[in-house]
Structure 1
């Protein structure tokens, strides 16, 4: 094979060109794809919905009792009963008084989606996880203090609604002391104050 023929067989293989004669060099596009993005988001949403379908949303109750919870006849702190309801209508709970809930809470509320009874001791912290009832729109808490004149004995909180077939969970912080009930930032503030008092008491006792 002479020199001219070898050149013809090899062709002009300059860097950046395909070995196939006449083909253009492969180049990577510098423009990001926009057609793939909606598909990616759609797949992500479908996966989230699929995962949420097998996962029941939950309500987490984080409750702390103060040192003077539910004072008795001699001023001694006592345990207290709480009832936690999941309701689809807030009005019956708002209209009911404590005596009606004590006598017959089902008649007073017209029923509920879920009901749970809890007992809290003075100085106790308790965390409870509840499955969120699908039709329920509100979580109601009633505390049955011995003091019948207690004014802050109940709480009503809206539950999150579903979005794209998914319903987020909810965490509610509660604090109880004396004959009162607090929620949210006020509950956290009182819990922190009790913790500081407890630490100060331990230091003064040399513990």
Structure 2
């Protein structure tokens, strides 16, 4: 199996490379420090599997996953991250990831999960599966949204653009755009205008 490892921490990249290459059937053909470099690695030498972190500079893992999935649908993407909140899981799966593992996963199990993904299965960490089945609601203003989703909904209601929201919350524009899609889907709304109206109606009732 030809794999590309994507993580903004050089120690994580190198450690994963050394550990996974001990497996006789795994070859790490490239590493990348952010989502844009991941796309470049796919252009350079098409991997079979990409192990993708979520939060990275320049381009995050979710936006990179979306672009790789659109350009090379045969490449299978496994998110490998410390984040197990419902929002990131939903965004990653919507972007086209077919696996979602936590970095706390033992390397032996990680190799097994990579093989399962390569064989055509969808791989979800047990903690991730529990989060999907029992999502925690955030403490924000709109019931059913996570804290970050509420922050973005509030900013949209204030009239901020995606770029302004991204800058204020230290997110990428792609993450803001994807999160907005999740918010609209959860609340069954059509666009950001409807969201703003819905937000202020709920706010005034509270």
Give the TM-score taking structure 1 as reference length.
0.22
Q: Which has the larger radius of gyration?
A: 1
Task: Give the structure with the higher percent strand.
Answer: 1
Please give the TM-score of this superposition, normalised by the length of structure 2.
0.22
